[in-house]
Amino acid sequence: MNVPFADEPARPRTSAWVKAVLVLCCAVVASMWIYYFFFATDEGVYQLQDKSWRVAAEQVCSAASAEREALTDTSDGYIANPTDEQMVQRADIVDQAHRHPRAHARRSGRDPGRQRGRRATRVEFFAENYRIVLADRRRYTASLRRFELVPYSETVVGGGPVTNVVLDFTAGVKGNDVPECSPPGELGGDVQV
């Protein structure tokens, strides 16, 4: 038989408002999980439901990728100590590489960066971040033209390199399945964030 000792302190009673707060917190967490499993959309943050943008973008980006790959032969790999002439040549190639997607879009009349309606916000977000990638490339080529051999660096967006955002939009798990529109890889050097 349990007999309380006379000097044992009485346990404090939990007030009604503390119990109410705990029940409310549990109800909020439970409702969040119920929403997630039964009602939330399976659509990705950047995913466009209208497939016409993907088709047009894939055509534009595939043609631009083919031209970009024909610009130079990089089979010899990265040149660790390039001459001034080689740095200017690298800058020219990088500049030409980022001109092609827009030129193809204008020629084809299907600029994937110009949209109207519900998808405009997501497409504009993609275009805005792609413009940041292009600005980073222009900054890199300007350094090369000044004969400064610096690593290619990227602007930080959302805690990581801007190409992560663009890649999530173009080829991410719940992206738009157009890897051809992903930013091209760098022609040399380590990437810095």
- 74 belongs to a structural domain: yes
- 176 belongs to a structural domain: yes
* pLDDT value for 39: 82
Domains held by the chain: number: 1
- 93 belongs to a structural domain: yes
Tell me how far apart the alpha carbons of residues 80 and 85 are, in angstroms, rounded to a whole number: 14
The radius of gyration computed from the CA coordinates of the chain, to the nearest angstrom, equals 27
- 84 belongs to a structural domain: yes
Specify the length of the chain in residues: 193
* pLDDT value for 22: 93
Tell me how far apart the alpha carbons of residues 33 and 154 are, in angstroms, rounded to a whole number: 37
* pLDDT value for 72: 66
Token pair 């001034």 is at which residue? Answer: 84
- 9 belongs to a structural domain: no
* Own/partner long-range contacts of 68-71 (Cβ < 8 Å, ≥24 apart): 68/96, 68/97, 68/100, 68/184, 71/96, 71/97
pLDDT along the chain (193 residues), means of 10: 60 78 95 87 70 82 81 68 86 78 50 52 83 90 91 89 87 77 63 45
Q: Which of 59, 189, 49 is nearest to 117 (CA)?
A: 49
- 69 belongs to a structural domain: yes
- 113 belongs to a structural domain: yes
* pLDDT value for 82: 83
Q: Quote the pTM value.
A: 0.64
Q: What residues make up the domain containing 97?
A: 51-183
- 75 belongs to a structural domain: yes
Tokens of residue 33, six digits: 């999980």
